[in-house]
Structure 1
Amino acid sequence: MALRLTLAPYASDATRSRGRIHPEPPSRTRSEFQRDRDRVLHSTAFRRLAHKCQVFVPLDGDHFRTRLTHTIEVGQIARALARTLALDEDLAETIALAHDLGHTPFGHAGESALTACMADHGGFDHNAQALRVVTRLERRYARYDGLDLTWETLEGLVKHNGPLRGPHVAHRLHPYIEAFDRVFPLELESFPGLEAQCATLADDIAYSSHDTDDGLRAGLFGLDEIASVPFIGALLAEIEALHPGLERQRVFHELTRRVITRFVEDVIDESTRRLAAAAPKSAEEARRAQTPLIGFSQSSAQALIELKRFLFKNMYRHPRVIGVWEEARSAISFLFPALNADPSLMPPEWERLAAQGKEPRAQVVADYIAGMTDRYALNEYRRLAGGAQAKAF
């Protein structure tokens, strides 16, 4: 498949970016989107992803994916999609690298616990939290809080799963996104740019493939079991035909690389078809399309649904995973009310933020907890709850 070296007319153009909240002189060496990418890479929140779990907490082993390794994999796939579709691969990678910055410690277990804690305080949503991280919580620059990212990056970060306003949007808009949109409108009623759509599908491809790999390596299910998913069964049959008697560890890798390749190639073929049919003349016109222009074919979308269904039943609901997740949920559920009742239990800078009253105390506590790594959260839980309650970890 030939790679295109020039951008399509519907690609985002870094030279025509809608700009930043705090305007800055252009860089002599980088495009605006490359500059965004580097700001994300050098952020504190990005480094913390190394110690936040994807499915397994760090105590399970050193070779399973973390939020950081997952994010790097998403970035690589997003670049590959954008490059082949003649989109801006720097923007696609930037959105991919930033998409999980708002996740709590302990993965989905931690998020569900913090969501419950924040139910009476405006709620918690990891996409809104990612926006808070890059617009408020990162404190690195002399002139402003946040990373001062471009409109295109912020739009893609907030809307990478689709429009947030409109007749077909069922969920309530998070208060922080709503407030930020009044200051720096992100056109919440439209689809995001095509680069953000690439990042979204890259996320689906990455976690479905690497969760399959991690689940096999952890022994949560075997090759015979996952072969019941027709898409996976066909790939395993192909591997056996090409490499009969291959050792299991190599089968795992051969399977993972084939899952990624098949889904990536399907997205490229299907998106090429959609783009040819819609023929958008600009990035703005692509955003106004009635449906996403980057996507899976119907058959691959169904294959992905079947694979996710298998993983939910055999991995995410596996007793080994559920047991640790319940303990993790208990840790967050303990920390939030304890810190909210007594902010002096937090580090001095966070205690000062809670005392200033610029934001509700509960929001400051949620920001503090959401930024924790798994290890730090466990240590704080042990310190405040005592060894008896935390020894299950």
Structure 2
Amino acid sequence: MRAPFASDPADSRGRLVAEEESSFRSCFQRDRDRIIHASAFRRLKHKTQVFIEHEGDYYRTRLTHSIEVAQVARTIAGALGLNAELTEAVALAHDLGHPPFGHTGEDALHALMAPFGGFDHNAQAIRIVTDLERHYAQFDGLNLTWETLEGIAKHNGPVPRPTPWALSGYNLHHDLELETYASAEAQVAAIADDVAYNHHDLHDGLRAELFSTDELAELPILRQNFARVDALYPGLNYYRRRHEALRRFFGVLVEDVIGVARKNLAVLKPQSVADIRQAGRPMIQFSRPVFTDLKEIRGFLFERMYRAPSVVRMRAEVTCVVQELFPYFMAHPEQLPKQWRKDVDEVRDETGLARIVSDYIAGMTDRFALQEHARLIAPGKSASPPDFV
């Protein structure tokens, strides 16, 4: 049963370029399918979540993370009577704009682009799906519906001013109403991202041996999960024990979000998507106790994982890669691939060139960035840094 505040594909605001719609797929299903088939989505396979892509086959990448987020998002959307296809489309697209090397690469690229408007991965995702994916005859980008674009742009909430240039430029001719909250579907995609990374960062940190299972079992929420597993399965194998505890942790977060959302929606009593957008606060949230516990867990991960000496050394290495590739391509745009040089021929100033170089580097996978750095800047050196973890 679809809720009255769910996004209805029949009421979509449509696409920037009018198209004949499919006879067997809704417009939101079509958006989801276009995202899955996009080049940028495939490249997420070789982009960092926390660890560099080549460091191990079992660590999450941006692609596996996005799939996990979509699974969580569909579950929550189904429980709340929302449109699952729109929710999934936003979830699958939410990380398309990430450059190589995760947030480390984004920080480096943002600093390099500071004189030219900066860099923001959410805004870059909009740039990808509205311009840089150039495969269709009728238009640049994927020509997604207004609702999917809105969700990608502001799934984390209204976009503050000054708006990132990649968003503000597009918004001039296709207003995404950046000052309001997004649909409930987009809010679900955002919190599904939180659920997924809180779960899998703990799992990946254990696999990397940056902390122990015993340490994990002392954290809030996890403490109860381990106790429950131990009561049900005394003497359980080490690996099965921690997996059972972590999957229960996952379930606690999902159930908390659904419970809080139902309470918020019962108070607001929204009768349309517009009521959700104009509510003035998010409807899809964690409860205060769970949010407080997650802050403690994130603090633990910050100290023991994100700031682990091995991870810090790796981040220093890959920051240098981005810092050296950017000025190289600014000085040698002839080294860009042929299809990118066509855009260079049309720019009239340094800002235009910087944006092309930024787009090109942001689209690189971890391994390609390392290979290009070795080929162009450090010939004779290994194309990959040593495995620190």
TM-score (norm 1): 0.95
Which 5+ residue runs of structure 2 have no aligned equivalent? none
Could you tell me whether the CA contact under 8 Å between 2:15 and 2:143 is conserved in 1? yes
Partner of 1:304: 294
Residues 171-199 of structure 1, C-alpha deviation per residue, up to 9 Å, x if partnerless? Answer: 62112211211211111111000000000
Partner of 1:156: 151
Residues 132-158 of structure 1, C-alpha deviation per residue, up to 9 Å, x if partnerless? Answer: 000000011001100000000000000
The offset of 1:67, in angstroms, is 0.3
The offset of 1:248, in angstroms, is 2.0
The structure-2 alpha-carbon separation of the partners of 1:66 and 1:391, relative to structure 1 and needing over 3 Å to count, comes to closer
The offset of 1:389, in angstroms, is 8.3
Could you tell me whether the CA contact under 8 Å between 1:216 and 1:252 is conserved in 2? no
In 2, Cα distance between equivalents of 1:190 and 1:112: 27
TM-score (norm 2): 0.96
Alignment partner of 1:60 is 2:52:
no
Partner of 1:347: 337
In 1, Cα distance between equivalents of 2:48 and 2:217: 26
Alignment partner of 1:117 is 2:107:
no
Which 5+ residue runs of structure 1 have no aligned equivalent? 1-5
The offset of 1:391, in angstroms, is 6.3
The offset of 1:371, in angstroms, is 0.3
In 2, Cα distance between equivalents of 1:194 and 1:242: 37
Further displaced range: 22-31 or 236-245: 236-245
Partner of 1:374: 366
Partner of 1:383: 375
Q: Does the residue aligned with 2:172 lie in a helix, a strand or coil?
A: helix
Alignment partner of 1:23 is 2:18:
yes
In 1, Cα distance between equivalents of 2:236 and 2:199: 20
In 1, Cα distance between equivalents of 2:250 and 2:187: 17
Q: Does the residue aligned with 2:221 lie in a helix, a strand or coil?
A: helix
Partner of 2:250: 260
In 2, Cα distance between equivalents of 1:255 and 1:360: 51
The offset of 1:237, in angstroms, is 1.5
Identity of aligned residues (%): 50
The offset of 1:360, in angstroms, is 0.4
In 2, Cα distance between equivalents of 1:257 and 1:52: 25
Select 2:192's aligned residue among 186, 196, 202.
202
Residues 189-246 of structure 1, C-alpha deviation per residue, up to 9 Å, x if partnerless? Answer: 1100000000000000001100100101110100122233222122112111211222
Could you tell me whether the CA contact under 8 Å between 1:81 and 1:198 is conserved in 2? yes
Q: Does the residue aligned with 2:286 lie in a helix, a strand or coil?
A: coil
Q: Does the residue aligned with 1:53 lie in a helix, a strand or coil?
A: coil
The offset of 1:390, in angstroms, is 5.9
Could you tell me whether the CA contact under 8 Å between 2:370 and 2:384 is conserved in 1? no
Could you tell me whether the CA contact under 8 Å between 1:65 and 1:210 is conserved in 2? yes
Could you tell me whether the CA contact under 8 Å between 1:226 and 1:310 is conserved in 2? no
Could you tell me whether the CA contact under 8 Å between 1:271 and 1:293 is conserved in 2? yes
Name the aligned partner's letter for residue 316 of structure 2: E
RMSD: 1.3
Select 1:236's aligned residue among 217, 226, 245.
226
Select 2:346's aligned residue among 356, 381, 388.
356
Q: Does the residue aligned with 1:8 lie in a helix, a strand or coil?
A: coil
Q: Does the residue aligned with 2:256 lie in a helix, a strand or coil?
A: helix
Could you tell me whether the CA contact under 8 Å between 2:226 and 2:242 is conserved in 1? no
Partner of 1:3: none
